[in-house]
Structure 1
Amino acid sequence: MTTDSTHRTHAGAQEPVGDLVQRASRQLSQLVRDEMRLAQAEMTEKGKRFGKGGGLFGGAGLAGVLTLQALVVTVIAALSLAMDVWVAALIVTGVLAAVTALMAALGKQQIGKGSPPAPEQSMDSVKADVAEIREKVQR
């Protein structure tokens, strides 16, 4: 065995430290590439699942809209037993219009509460801090 500090014993054979470092570097690079490929494959699979899930949710939304339309027709048909069909349809249309208007008004109100889209309280706090610092500096 050599006592030279640039050589190490590895599985009974002598290899220079430089060769060991180079091999370790290659192995580490390969490990990182393999891990990146695994992560990419995993994310691809998850992306496919999210895509399928989104498509199913979209389909459920469409089926829900169709269900509501069928319910509206059912209500009109039920009311038509007691009145003319056109009157029943007019009543249901009026109720739906009122619900739509109420939802639009509430939505507008909520958007108004969120405007302007700036952190006003934080900005006011920063302005107060700056004013206080200026006041202390001027003393």
Structure 2
Amino acid sequence: MINTKESLPTSELIRQMSEQVSRLVKDELRLARAELTEKGRHAGIGVGLFGGAGVVALFGGGALVAAVILFLAQVMPPWAAAALVGGVLLVVAGALGFFGKRQVAEAGPPTPERTIESVKDDIDAVKERAHR
């Protein structure tokens, strides 16, 4: 049990405050580490799944592109069919890249937001008690 301010010398109060601030900083660092670990784990799993989906889609898309080229080659020269399909694919790739970049920009930085809020609350509480 901590005694009241009136019964403790100033040096003891300063020592206790120092210990409490040290404990608070360590707790905040643990919270930030846990939050970033959680975000990193989810991001890693998502990136792995996204990569696997991309590989499978690449093979499926290649087969469909070949089918479209072969189909168009029946009504136009094969080189023209391949050029037409390639051009359409490049336009689609450009649109996807544009929208993907915009989504990444909207995601924001991977900062530990809960920890930052907690630290701000701690600072406000310390300031409030210091003014008493």
TM-score (norm 2): 0.51
- Distance 1:27-1:101 versus aligned 2 partners, 3 A rule: closer
Aligned length: 90
Q: Distance in 1 between matches of 2:90 and 2:69?
A: 22
Contact 2:69 2:78 in 1 (8 A): yes
- How many Å separate the matches in 2 of 1:17 and 1:65? 70
1:93 maps onto 2:86 in alignment: no
CA–CA distance in structure 2, aligned partners of residues 102 and 46 of structure 1: 34
**Shift in CA distance, 15/102, structure 1 to aligned 2, threshold 3 Å:** closer
- Alignment partner, residue 37 of structure 1: 30
Which digits, 9 at most, give the CA deviation of each residue in 1:40-62, with x for residues without a partner? 11101111211221222222222
The separation in 1 between residues aligned to 2:90 and 2:45, in whole angstroms, is: 35
Distance 1:79 1:96, change over 3 A: closer
Q: Which amino acid aligns with 2:84?
A: V
Q: Among residues 19, 25, 40, which one is paired with 2:18 in the alignment?
A: 25
Question: Which of 54, 68, 74 lines up with 1:75 in the alignment?
Answer: 68
Moved more, 54-63 or 41-50: 54-63
Contact 1:76–1:92 (CA under 8 A) maintained in structure 2: yes
Let me know the Cα RMSD of the aligned residues: 3.5
Higher relative contact order (CA 8 A, sep 6+): 2
The answer for unaligned runs of 5 or more in structure 1 is 1-8, 107-139
1:92 Cα deviation from its structure 2 partner:
3.5
> TM-score, normalised to structure 1's length?
0.49
Aligned 8 A contact 1:76 1:89 in 2: yes
In structure 2, the partner of 1:46 is 39
**If each structure's strand is expressed as a fraction of its own residues, which one has the higher value?**
1
